[in-house]
Every structure is written in C-alpha cells, then in structure tokens.
Amino acid sequence: MQAAIISGREKLELRDFPDPEPAREGVVVEVRYCGICGTDVHAYAGGHPYPPELCGHEWAGRVSKVGAEVEALREGDRVSVGVLPPCGECRECRAGHPAWCQRAMSGQGGGDPCGSPHGGFASSIAASAARVVAVPDALSDEAAAQVEPATVTYHGVRRSGLRLGDLAVVQGAGPIGLLTLQWALAAGAREVVVVEPSPERRTLAAELGASLACEPGEEAHQAVRERNGGLGADCVFECVGRPETIQSAADFARRGASLALIGLSHQDASIHPTSWLVKELSVTGCIAYERAEFARCMEIMADGRVDAEPLHTRSVGLGELDAVFAELAGGSVRESKVLVDPRGLS
C-alpha cells in the first residue's frame, strides 16, 4: 500500500507501507476522502520537521477491520477522525484541566498508540477506536472529511469571547476562515466582515453569509469602523496563519475587543505590543479541539446551520498530490478545499 509523506522542503513522496492491521483497541479505516490542511502546505513549503502521521489528518471513511477489544464500532461504520479522550491520569487531568490532557494533546501531533506510521493520504489507515467518531447519515463523505477543520473552528469560536450582537472580523477566507465565518454567525454575531485578497474566496464568503468581504487595506479598516459606530471590531478571528497577518488582526479590533488566533504560524511574528496593551485586548490561542466537541460539531453540520459542502472545490488522487502541493504552496491556486481521494492514484 502507498501513502504520501512530506519528507522535506517542497518534497512529497509516495512510499510503500504494509497494509494496516488493527490493534486490540483499534480499527482500520478505508479512507474515502482526506483534506489537505494548511499546516500540511506550510510543512511542505517550509521544510520543518513534520511527523509522517500528520501528513493527511483530516480523513473520513468506513471501518474495514475492528480490533478484538473494540465493541462500539463495526465493519462498515462511517467515521471521521478526532482526538483521543482525556486520559484522567496525566498531571493536567488530575489538576482538573482535561481540555489540555497530555494524551489528547499529543494525539494532535500524530501520537496515536494504535495508529499507522503515516497519515490519511493513503487508501487505509489504522487508528485507536477512541479517536474515531461515527458520522451522521445526513453528512456526505465530502462533508465528513471536513469535520476535523470544522471542529477546529468550532472550538476557536467557543473560546473567542464572541458575544451575541457582536461585529466580528474574520481575517482569511480559506477553509478555516470560511468555517469560522459560519460558526460566528451561528454563535450570534450580528455581522461578520471577511478580509481576503482572493476575489474567488471573497465571493464564496459572501455566499456563506459575510455581510462584507473585502480586500486587506485601509478601506477594510474603514468599513469595519463604519459598521460599528466608529469603533473597530468587537471580536477578530485571525485565520491566515502567517507572521505578517498577526498585527493586522489586532489593528481591526476596538479597545476592549477579543482576538482569537486560529491560524497557525510556524514563524515568529512582529507585533506592536503597545497597541495591544493600550487596547486592552483579550487574546485567545486556539489549537485543535476537545474530544466532546467533535460530535456536537457534526450535529450542527448535519442540521445545516454550518455547511462545509461549498468549500470543497476539487478532488485529486494520490498521484496528483505533488503537483497540487506545489500549486498550493506557491499561492497560484484560489480554490477553497482540496480533498484527496486515495482510490484514484492518477
């Protein structure tokens, strides 16, 4: 069996792996779709160390094999992948902080004791049964493969401090930004302004409910102030994950506003700390999600309040991945979400 691995800067390889077998507490899943995450692209472009298990961590499919000690899942079940539940034994759990459980957090970095030595850019993958969650019938396979990033943004909006009636700004209209837009509206934002350089992505943001989708620049800042009585935004979501966008997110905020960092940057960022201090910003870091949020997120997606379907703009096979990664890393692609169908190798 072949799986795609990011092995260095601008280097992606198809490697041979044994067909996976389930651990006693694990399952094997036939991957139907796997999303290409922004962190995958950043790793490809930057060449920093990247665990092979993370090369494709937004997967969904059907259970094909079940371990001897697994009772809650059966062959044929449709599932999507989440994180392990809190262990109840680490120092964070014992101190009453299960949301930051060491075992669950390590799983976000690819540490699954029952997992494969590769990620979801493969025809099948082994995983702990405790990681996978049953997918409602109302969700398509394409939507199921986007539950993982949807839960990331669900978690980010829940942690953000967004209040009913707030004016929110979402910086970036990639998949993370477009999902954040929808969660912010579902959480009660009266308006959401999306800031994005791509005209195609701005159009999609408007279709998904943004009251305004505009290019970065002074006109965007002016438009936000006009919509909030001369103030900046009540809540800002940074969903780009680049060093140069961190300070610009703070610039959109009014005094006393909330700023949620959802986009992940692997590089240092220059900021103007005086402006953050003078504005008395409440800054929240948001990484991944809690295990319990996964099922809640799917319930809301299943009833249509948050729709991942329009984000899916293209499907590719494993054999096309190298070229697609090069396009995504070079910024030449204005698509939203590219899904990998490992059944198609060409």
Residue 104: what pLDDT?
83
pLDDT, residue 46, reads: 85
Strand 282-285 relative to strand 253-261, pairing: parallel
- Report DSSP letters for 111-147, one per residue: --TT--SS-SSBSEEEEETTTEEEPPTTS-HHHHTTH
Q: ∠194-146-341 over CA atoms, to 5°?
A: 125
Domains of the chain, CATH where assigned:
2-146+308-340 (3.90.180.10), 151-285 (3.40.50.720)
Which pLDDT score is estimated for 336?
85
Residue 92: the pLDDT is 94
Asked if residues 296 and 154 have their Cβ atoms less than 8 Å apart, the reply is: yes
d(CA 165, CA 142): 32
The per-residue pLDDT for 107 is 64
Close Cβ partners of 106 (under 8 Å, ≥ 6 residues apart)? none
pLDDT at 345: 55
Ranges of the chain with pLDDT below 50: 346
What is residue 257's three-state secondary structure? strand
Give the predicted TM-score (pTM) of the model. 0.92
Spatial separation of the C-alpha atoms in residues 102 and 266, rounded to whole Å? 21
Classify residue 68 as exposed, middle or buried by CB count within 10 Å of its CB (0-12, 13-18, 19+): exposed
Q: Assess contact for 153 and 174: CB atoms under 8 A.
A: no
Q: So what's the pLDDT on residue 13? A: 92
